[in-house]
């Protein structure tokens, strides 16, 4: 985590439990991170590690029940979003924080035209007139590479292909020039050219507006290309976070190392994707009391069975949660 400077978003000690018929699932355990304006945070970790749940909780998108945020703070420019009224949250969502989730519940509404879904936040959050909102909607669709944009405003989501719908969602997320964009696997359905185009567009917006971006992906090539910092999640915890070059050049956590090993070349022309790492993901029925990676770890020591390692700074904005990786350079 970089020292000093303003933070647009600060997440502190987040804990989320799902109450299911089969018992509790501790999906997110003591997760903390922060974002500076204009910063891009890449989030990686295997399926079920808590990436989506963490990010959905920031803007009140988790179904509750079964989810319960038991502890923590989510500070958007100092305002704790876990304490705000539903009305204020609606203002934040789509206004100050834009989001693209793959969950169909949070994506496009099938009963409204794309034009309406673009113009509505512009009118609501930005106070635009109908005419101005229409003009801006066309611009936004053009920005994300949708041909014949003016005519397509009248179309419904089902009239767009999967890739086009994804671009429409990105256009909506960007419409109100949010301070923070949360993008959960937003480009996986897109072909490589469009993906590059959208990444470029986001880089521009980040430069122009100082928009910070949280980018969840399994694609380490994209992370290498776009992120300033990388947060690695495992079993509902942050196990490592560091500037992007540190993560690729000096990974400390055995899980991060395993991830990187599964990828032939992160800077290669072909998209590098995370492969499966041997062993089972941890069972999250209680808060961790030992290292959750220990069963899959080659460096397992006695301490790893007794104590869950906390995230500790090892210098250079590099944090790691591993008993074996603090060697020599304390915070
Ligand atoms: N509705 C739910 N009910 C119960 N448990 C849930 C629910 N949604 C998520 N979880 C639990 O939260 C954990 C984290 O899920 P999450 O969707 O955040 O994973 P993820 O890291 O985004 O994975 P992926 O890479 O597959 O998208 C899962 O292991 C799951 O057990
Ligand atoms: Mg997910």
pLDDT for residue 196:
80
Q: How many distinct structural domains can be found in the chain?
A: 1
Query: Checking DSSP bridges between strand 318-320 and strand 97-100, what pairing results, if any?
Result: unpaired
- Domain containing 193 equals 9-96+176-320
Compute the distance between CA of residue 328 and CA of residue 100 in angstroms, rounded to an integer: 41
**Residue 123 resides in a domain:** no
Contact 1, 317 (CB under 8 A): yes
**Shortest-distance ligand to the CA of residue 51:** 1
Residue 292 reports pLDDT greater than 90: yes
Which atom of ligand 1 lies closest to the CA of 281? 29
Per-residue confidence band for 261, with pLDDT thresholds at 50, 70 and 90 = confident
331 pLDDT band (50/70/90 cuts)?
very low
Does residue 108 lie in a domain region? no
The residue-averaged pLDDT of 123-133 equals: 95
The confidence score (pLDDT) of residue 194 equals: 76
Only one residue has tokens 């599964």, namely 262
pLDDT at 40: 95
Point out which residues pair with 320 in neighbouring strands. 240, 312
- Pair 288, 235: CB distance under 8 Å: yes
Q: Give the other-Cβ count within 10 Å of 315's Cβ.
A: 11
Strand 67-76 to strand 79-80: parallel, antiparallel, or no bridges (unpaired)?
Answer: antiparallel
Query: For residue 102, is it within any domain?
Result: no
CATH number at residue 40: 3.40.50.300
Cα separation of 133 and 114, whole Å? 13
Residues with CB under 5 A from ligand 2 (ion): 51-52
Per-residue model confidence as pLDDT tens digits over 25-75:
999 999 999 999 999 999 999 999 999 999 999 999 999 999 999 999 999
Question: What separation in Å is there between the alpha carbon of 184 and the centre of ligand 2?
Answer: 7
- Strand, coil or helix: 59: coil
In a domain? residue 19: yes
**Contact by Cβ (8 Å): 18, 66:** yes
Residue bearing the CA closest to ligand 1, atom 5: 18
Residue list, ligand 1 pocket, CB within 6 Å: 18, 20, 25, 27, 45, 47-53, 66
Contact 61, 234 (CB under 8 A): no
Residue 168 lies in a domain: no
User: Each residue of 143-153: pLDDT tens digit?
Assistant: 888 999 999 99
Report how far ligand 2's centroid is from the alpha carbon of 164 (Å): 21
The answer to whether residue 17 sits within a structural domain is yes
- On whether residue 298 sits in a domain, the answer given is yes
Least confident of 91-105, 198-212, 222-236, 270-284: 270-284
| 157-192 per-residue burial string, b: 16 or more CB within 10 A, e: under 16 | beebeeebbbbbbbbbbbbbbbbbbbbbbbbebbee
For a mutational test of ligand 1's pocket, the pick from 19, 48, 66, i.e. the residue with the most ligand atoms closer than 8 A to its C-beta, is 48
CA 46 to ligand 2 center in whole angstroms: 9
pLDDT (tens digit per residue) in 156-184: 999 998 778 888 998 999 999 999 999 99
What is the average pLDDT value for the chain, to the nearest integer? 89
Residue 105 lies in a domain: no
* List of E strands, the chain: 9-20, 23-35, 40-44, 67-76, 79-80, 97-100, 180-184, 212-216, 229-234, 237-243, 312-315, 318-320
Residue 263 confidence class, pLDDT cut points 50, 70, 90: low
């Amino acid at each position: 985590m970089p020292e000093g400077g303003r933070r647009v978003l600060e997440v502190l000690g987040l804990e989320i439990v799902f109450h299911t018929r089969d018992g509790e699932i501790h999906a997110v355990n003591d997760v903390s991170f922060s974002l500076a304006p204009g910063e891009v945070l890449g989030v990686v970790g295997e399926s079920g590690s808590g990436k989506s749940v963490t990010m959905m909780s920031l803007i009140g998108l988790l179904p509750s029940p079964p989810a319960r945020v038991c502890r923590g703070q989510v500070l958007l420019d100092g305002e704790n979003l876990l304490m705000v009224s539903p009305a204020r949250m609606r203002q934040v969502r789509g206004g100050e924080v834009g989001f693209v989730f793959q969950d169909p519940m949070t994506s496009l509404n099938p009963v409204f035209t794309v034009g309406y879904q673009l113009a509505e936040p512009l009118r609501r959050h930005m106070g635009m007139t109908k005419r101005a909102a229409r003009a801006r909607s066309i611009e936004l669709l053009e920005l994300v590479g949708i041909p014949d944009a003016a005519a397509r405003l009248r179309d419904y989501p089902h009239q767009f292909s999967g890739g086009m719908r994804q671009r429409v969602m990105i256009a909506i997320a960007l419409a109100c020039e949010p301070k923070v964009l949360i993008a959960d696997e937003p480009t996986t359905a897109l072909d490589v050219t469009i993906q590059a185009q959208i990444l470029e567009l986001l880089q521009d917006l980040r430069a122009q507006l100082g928009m910070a971006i949280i980018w969840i992906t399994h694609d380490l090539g994209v992370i290498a290309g776009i992120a300033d910092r990388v947060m690695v999640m495992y079993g509902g915890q942050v196990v490592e976070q560091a500037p992007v070059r540190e993560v690729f050049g000096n990974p400390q956590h055995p899980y991060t190392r395993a991830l990187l090993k599964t990828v032939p070349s992160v800077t290669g022309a072909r998209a590098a994707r995370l492969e499966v790492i041997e062993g089972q993901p941890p069972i999250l029925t209680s808060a961790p009391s030992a290292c959750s990676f220990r069963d899959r770890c080659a460096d397992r020591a006695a301490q790893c069975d007794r104590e869950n390692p906390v995230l500790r700074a090892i210098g250079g904005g590099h944090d790691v949660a591993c008993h074996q990786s603090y060697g020599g350079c304390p915070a």
